[in-house]
Structure 1
Amino acid sequence: MWMWACGSEAPSPPTQPPPVIEDPTPSNPTPVDPTPNPTPVDPDPVDPPPPPPPPVTPEAQRPYVMPKLQTSVPEYELIIPPEAMKKFAEDVWTPEQDAVFKAKGMTYPVKVRLRGASARFFDKKSWNVSFADGTRFEGRTSLNLVAEFADASMLAEKMAFDLLEAMRVPASKATYVLLTVNGSPQGVFLEIEQVNKAFLKAHAFADDDATIYRCGWKDCEMKTWKVPYQGDWTKKTNERQPDDALVAMMDVINHSPEPEFAEKLGKHLQLEHYLRSMVMDALMSNNFVEDSESYFIYDRAVAKWSYVPWDLNNVDARWWYLNPVPDMATSTNSMRHPLFNFTLFDAWTEKMYLQRKKESQSYPGYLPVFSNLATRVLMNPELRGRLDERLEKALDELFKPEVLNPYIDAVHALIDSHMRTAPYIDYERFRASRDYMKRYVRERRAFVEKDWARLKAQRSTLVFDAFDPVEGWVDVANHGTTAVSLQGMVLTTNLRVSLAQSDHPPTQVHPPMGAVLPALTVAPGAKVRLKVSELGIQLAPKGELGLFDGKSVVGVKDFLFYGALPSGQQYQRGEAGWEAR
């Protein structure tokens, strides 16, 4: 029997000399037409149809690939007049000042200011550079020169943006540069692409004059109401046009009936990009999203919104500059942020609440902060399934040592020689950060897999079984095996106001917003109907309803964002989720 390796041709058998055959053709043959009945030549031949094109791989199935790393570090120079530098030193919130920018043999008159929030007070300053109208530098009208002083690795924000690019999410490009200010070397910076009209063109938005919003200061919660400490949505383009589209999108996010939510969200939002940005948040443990002031862009040509993440230097992956080498060598605190970040399922939502509520002067009336959009995505079975697929894909193709260890080595090698002599940094910590970031990838990956399995398996004993906002009642069912008392639990129409008792009044529920429930017992497999008017609660035609343990701002048993249904219909929980019946 012949045997060969898979994929190889079978070997030929031994050859024999060919037999000699006598040529029967006469030595002087009469010419004969080899085609006695030739076929007439078509004077107008028709080309055969081209072969069918190769099958197109669906976008969601295309592999995630880390972008190519730059091969050199360009040098930038700022020349800022002494009087302007004095103003910045005396007041970090000084507005733009005249300056000169030099790069690649060219000189540009520019405006400069310090950038960031707490970063303005660091020793190594970050700068925003704006070019004059009609002037562009490599296609850009402004530059964000980020010092990355808070991250000894100089890598966390860069990796976060590169992961977004690998997953084909339209997000800013991050490039390492060297900066000199008034002849004084400042070291390595990360130049982060500004989200503006130049960004729209660079990322192939169909509408090159799309409407760009920036979330109000302190959150991108995507809710329909404001708190005292929250800033306004800031419009960066088309400032004089009404905000009708934004108001309508907030209504879609907050008030789409749950049975229609996935379909409506896909119609009005670049949903694929948003799910992938949630994956990045999970992998890089994106903390302080409430402070990010990220962007929300309305592309009128396709009538869809895009969420564009920003301020990724707050990811927990960073090596905080105050943490010494021995601590970071063993610490895993930054690797254990529960999934999913910036949602009602994130236990660190309470951690941040407890921290911020003490700062009453800075945050009057502080409430727990989370994204209504991300929270609804997680609660919706269809969208949660799609998120699961994207997370698994990123873990399989990107976020693993085989891919990111060489990436970390390459980034380190790119900037190492510049970091050796850079001011403001501890080179020993930078050198050690290469191994730390590799450990972060390994241990964060393991934590994400474990915590996502926990979250998917998590089942609440008490759930809403049916709800009629018009008639004013909600059924609470017990899916457990033992009786449960509702006494002391909270039924609330505001998911951020959910405590039975609190030393911070804004989070303690009172009628008509909600109520502390009396001693009602729900037997296993049974349900009770709560008539909300009898509890002093007023239901809006569209809104939100939650059942909490009354003790924790993330102690949620079940919740529902709801919109108005056709007359006579109610919300009923089916096997696949909420239905309208």
Structure 2
Amino acid sequence: MVFWIAMMGTVLLMALGTGCGQEEAGGTPEPGPKEGQFAFPALQTEVPLYELTIPAETMAKFEANPYEDEHPATFVFAGKSYTVGVRLRGSSSRFFPKKSWRIEFPKGTEFDGRRKHNLVAEFQDRTMMAEKLAYDLMLAMGLPAPVTKYVRLSINGQYQGVYLDIERVDNSFAKAHGFVDPDPTIYRCGAKDCEMKLWRTDYQQDWQKETNEEKEPGKDDIRTLMTVINRAPEPDFPRMLGENLEVERYLRTLAAEVLISNNITEDSQSYLIHDRTTYKWTYVAWDLNNADSRWWPTYGLGMKPVANHPLFPFSLADAWVEKMYLKRNTRPDFLPTFSNLTTRILYNPELREQLFAVVEKSLDELFAPAVIEPRLDAMHQLIAPYMDADPYLLLNDVGQPDPDGLAKFREGLPFLKAYAKQRTDFVRRELERLRAPPSTLRLQAVSPGEGWVELHNPTGQALSTAGLVLTTDLRRTIPTLRHPWSSTVLPERRVPPNGTVRFTRQELGFTLPPEGELGLFDGVSVVGVKDVFFYAALPSGGTYARGSDGSHWEAR
């Protein structure tokens, strides 16, 4: 898929906020970041020990049922005891040998500034650094992202190893990260979702309202946001999105996910926070250990970094969408899963170039070798003294011996440095490619009322429409998925260089809805996208068409 940017002079980077502090690396501190520069937050200097005492009968219940409810336990730190509630946390991680834990202190009691703590085992990452790096990147970009801290954990006197304590996203999080509203409304996207669509399939779960359910029953607020995301007319999309969403924050989140190669967003149950004072929403990414920057336990010594994951994960630009669809397609109604919001941003010239600029800024200021390598050195040196005693490091994810576990951790540092270098090179090449002029047919004009669609050939050679799929459901893009009442396989039509071709309602064989989405695909891959277009209803006789610059859409 190729995007086109009409470039006029030099692209200027936006003023993108301040960093979040400077590295604590020992010795004389480096000069602080310049105004507007991204900078990593200070790294902790010690790894504290948390001790849990959990009754034997409770441990037996957790063993028998990983989804067992919370039970009382005793938490000890620096000689001080607290009565807390504990349970296992995570999804598939509940079944790994090294468990992840949720600890909740009583109401009115906070530990380290919070009542609720997520102790994540990071068992599927032999580097033990990929998820912390992801959250620290987001904090470095000035995002309201969970603060993380390495800790050691002992349960009933038995050392469990190093964990990552991840800040929970709740009202305390909103207060700590400067939301204006003291009581914002927080949602989590449901299981197998995070798609930012107006409808979901029956195997997906609805948005989960975490706060203000009694004050504001129902979910009209988030449905309004989804309507803007999916139905704002393309000419007005940047403005309308900016009135409802903290767009710059979202673009920075996408940039961070590009750097780490995030890859399974639909399982993340990430958050949307509605600040009812500013009237804007903020997306907060969660579950960032699913990234190609990690070292899976099943891979052996000498693992090579996977640095060529397509840019902008969980969008129609991401070939991983098809990979996950093929992997999880276990029922006839299963459909490809991707974000409409990210996809729309990529097909809007204004927002797309803003996103590209943030990605380039993050590469320059966070992934440059002089920045990322000392950061990785410091993280590795912080936890390395405590890894030899980790009883789970020599096990794989099904509990079988992994005698190379410790060696993999030690190789994790050069592995991540190589990943950062290779990822940087790959991302820069991809941005250059994506900025090239279009080389395929694309949508040129759409008349929902009259039911016709016009395609344009922007290249210097004739192109054919044979086999292409035109669809009003971006999830149904190949013949085995398509519905005849919402899509068609186009017949052979030769489109001359810089020429157009129009398909009438009769030729299409289906009726365009008054408002919705429209996509042109190669008919082979579920992500074989050539162009997409989202639109709102128009007055009678209205038409959407590309303007004279050949890029932006206009309503006529």
The TM-score, its normalising length taken from structure 1, stands at 0.86
Partner letter of residue 577 of structure 1? H
Alignment partner, residue 371 of structure 2: 403
User: Which residue among 199, 213, 228 is the counterpart of 1:239?
Assistant: 213
Matches within 5 A, 1:209-248: 209-240=183-214, 241=216, 242-248=218-224
- The answer to whether the 8 Å contact 2:124/2:295 transfers is yes
- The answer to whether the 8 Å contact 2:16/2:37 transfers is no
User: Which residue among 406, 414, 435 is the counterpart of 1:456?
Assistant: 435
Q: State the secondary structure of the residue aligned to 1:335.
A: coil
Partner letter of residue 221 of structure 2? A
- The answer to whether the 8 Å contact 2:315/2:340 transfers is yes
1:155 aligns with 2:155: no
1:273 aligns with 2:249: yes
Alignment partner, residue 446 of structure 1: 425
Residues 314-342 of structure 1 deviation map (CA, whole Å, 9 limit, x = unaligned): 1110111111112x1xx23x211011211
Alignment partner, residue 156 of structure 2: 182
What RMSD over aligned residues (CA atoms) do the two structures have, in Å? 1.5
Structure 2 gap ranges (5+): 1-14, 19-34, 394-404
Q: State the secondary structure of the residue aligned to 1:169.
A: coil
Q: Whole-Å Cα distance in 1 between the matches of residues 382 and 50 of structure 2?
A: 17
User: Which residue among 378, 384, 405 is the counterpart of 1:416?
Assistant: 384
- The answer to whether the 8 Å contact 1:509/1:516 transfers is no
Matches within 5 A, 1:171-570: 171-240=145-214, 241=216, 242-326=218-302, 328=303, 331-332=304-305, 334-357=306-329, 359-360=330-331, 365-425=333-393, 426-457=405-436, 459-500=438-479, 502=480, 508-532=481-505, 534-570=507-543
Q: Whole-Å Cα distance in 2 between the matches of residues 211 and 567 of structure 1?
A: 39
Q: Whole-Å Cα distance in 1 between the matches of residues 75 and 186 of structure 2?
A: 27
Q: Whole-Å Cα distance in 2 between the matches of residues 80 and 237 of structure 1?
A: 30
- The answer to whether the 8 Å contact 2:17/2:142 transfers is no
Partner letter of residue 372 of structure 2? L
Q: State the secondary structure of the residue aligned to 2:534.
A: strand
Q: State the secondary structure of the residue aligned to 2:262.
A: coil
Identify if the C-alpha distance between structure 1 residues 145 and 58 changes in structure 2 by more than 3 Å, giving closer, same or farther: closer
Alignment partner, residue 109 of structure 1: 83
Deviates more, 1:112-121 or 1:131-140: 131-140
Q: Whole-Å Cα distance in 2 between the matches of residues 398 and 391 of structure 1?
A: 10
Superposition deviation, residue 293 in structure 1: 0.8
Q: Whole-Å Cα distance in 2 between the matches of residues 497 and 294 of structure 1?
A: 25
Superposition deviation, residue 566 in structure 1: 4.1
Q: State the secondary structure of the residue aligned to 2:387.
A: helix
- The answer to whether the 8 Å contact 1:257/1:565 transfers is no
Q: State the secondary structure of the residue aligned to 2:151.
A: strand
Residues 203-261 of structure 1 deviation map (CA, whole Å, 9 limit, x = unaligned): 11111210000011112110001112211211110123221110110001001000100
Matches within 5 A, 1:49-60: 59=17
- The answer to whether the 8 Å contact 2:449/2:541 transfers is no
- The answer to whether the 8 Å contact 1:224/1:254 transfers is yes
Identify if the C-alpha distance between structure 1 residues 460 and 495 changes in structure 2 by more than 3 Å, giving closer, same or farther: farther
- The answer to whether the 8 Å contact 1:220/1:290 transfers is yes
Superposition deviation, residue 461 in structure 1: 2.2
Alignment partner, residue 168 of structure 1: 142
Matches within 5 A, 1:112-127: 112-127=86-101
Q: Whole-Å Cα distance in 2 between the matches of residues 197 and 189 of structure 1?
A: 24
Superposition deviation, residue 58 in structure 1: 6.7
- The answer to whether the 8 Å contact 2:474/2:517 transfers is yes
Q: How many percent identity over aligned positions?
A: 51
User: Which residue among 115, 120, 125 is the counterpart of 1:141?
Assistant: 115
Q: Whole-Å Cα distance in 1 between the matches of residues 255 and 94 of structure 2?
A: 30
Deviates more, 1:456-465 or 1:296-305: 456-465
The TM-score, its normalising length taken from structure 2, stands at 0.89
Task: Specify which structure has the bigger relative contact order, considering alpha-carbon pairs within 8 angstroms and separated by 6 or more residues.
Answer: 2
Partner letter of residue 550 of structure 1? G
Superposition deviation, residue 59 in structure 1: 2.8
Superposition deviation, residue 429 in structure 1: 1.2
In the TM superposition, structure 1's runs of 4+ consecutive aligned residues that sit over 4 Å from their partners are none
Superposition deviation, residue 487 in structure 1: 2.4
Superposition deviation, residue 135 in structure 1: 2.1
Alignment partner, residue 8 of structure 1: none
Superposition deviation, residue 518 in structure 1: 2.3
Q: Whole-Å Cα distance in 1 between the matches of residues 121 and 223 of structure 2?
A: 36
Deviates more, 1:89-98 or 1:312-321: 89-98
Structure 1 gap ranges (5+): 1-56, 503-507
Superposition deviation, residue 131 in structure 1: 1.8
Q: Whole-Å Cα distance in 2 between the matches of residues 566 and 101 of structure 1?
A: 64
Identify if the C-alpha distance between structure 1 residues 480 and 71 changes in structure 2 by more than 3 Å, giving closer, same or farther: same
Residues 102-159 of structure 1 deviation map (CA, whole Å, 9 limit, x = unaligned): 2233322222111111111111000011222222222212100000010011000000
Deviates more, 1:119-128 or 1:342-351: 342-351
Q: How many pairs align? A: 511
- The answer to whether the 8 Å contact 2:514/2:538 transfers is no
Q: Whole-Å Cα distance in 2 between the matches of residues 342 and 457 of structure 1?
A: 22
Superposition deviation, residue 458 in structure 1: 5.7
Superposition deviation, residue 531 in structure 1: 2.0
- The answer to whether the 8 Å contact 1:213/1:295 transfers is yes
Residues 52-86 of structure 1 deviation map (CA, whole Å, 9 limit, x = unaligned): xxxxx773870001111001111111111111111
Q: State the secondary structure of the residue aligned to 1:213.
A: strand
Q: Whole-Å Cα distance in 2 between the matches of residues 468 and 355 of structure 1?
A: 37
Partner letter of residue 458 of structure 2? H
